[in-house]
Amino acid sequence: MIRNVGTCRIETVQGDITLEKTDAIGNAANSMLAGGGGVDGAIHRAGGPAIMAECRRIGGCPTGGCVVTTAGRLKAKRVLHMVGPIWNGGENDEAELLAFCYRSALDLAVEHGLRSVAFPSVSTGIYGFPVRPAAMIALRTIAAFLRERSAPELVRMVLFDPGTRKAYDEGLAELLPDIAADA
């Protein structure tokens, strides 16, 4: 699904984020930037040791934050290591931390002149954040940022499985209805 926000675009696709040719890809990282499973492990395996070497130099990142590194052997130029919150029932500022995580990544993308970014669904894997609320938080945050800053030109949500893709498609359609389809 594709929706425009001013001169920018939000897309949802199902796929493997490590294959993206965008300027940057988002990584669902842990606060120690120590690599791991899921998206994080896949990015480190595909990108090679240069990514981990930079992560070690950086040392860590707080929950809700983001740091940027090389993309190593990936097709992207940079990796935005996004530290999302662990779901604890929603009573520990998880929604705010998740929104701040996306906002931090977008701020870094603009700061580094990155015109296209691909994000995974942060915190919805092993961190247990419910997919539908996470999708709405991510999409609202991204749309608001694009309205405010008119950059990056493209934000692509690259979703690993059909259920997550469906949640993001439904969220995007709700948040940004397709006016042309109603005409």
**What pTM did the predictor assign?**
0.95
Q: Is residue 38 part of a domain?
A: yes
By the 8 A CB rule, do 74 and 118 touch? no
Residue 120 CA to residue 68 CA, distance in Å, equals 15
Catalytic residue, candidates 16, 23, 40, 161:
40
The tens digit of pLDDT for each residue in 122-137 reads 999 999 999 999 999 9
For the beta carbon of residue 181, count every other beta carbon within 10 angstroms.
7
Q: Is residue 183 part of a domain?
A: no
Residue 110 CA to residue 102 CA, distance in Å, equals 12
Rg of the chain's alpha carbons, rounded to an integer?
Answer: 15
Domain that holds residue 12: 2-175
- Residue 2's pLDDT band, with cuts at 50, 70 and 90, is very high
What pLDDT sits at residue 182?
39
- The residue with greater pLDDT, 183 or 89, is 89
Q: Is residue 86 part of a domain?
A: yes
The tens digit of pLDDT for each residue in 73-87 reads 999 999 999 999 999
Number of domains in the chain: 1
What pLDDT sits at residue 179?
59
Q: Is residue 115 part of a domain?
A: yes
* Domain at 132, CATH number: 3.40.220.10
> N- to C-terminal Cα distance for the chain?
18
Is 161 an active-site residue? no
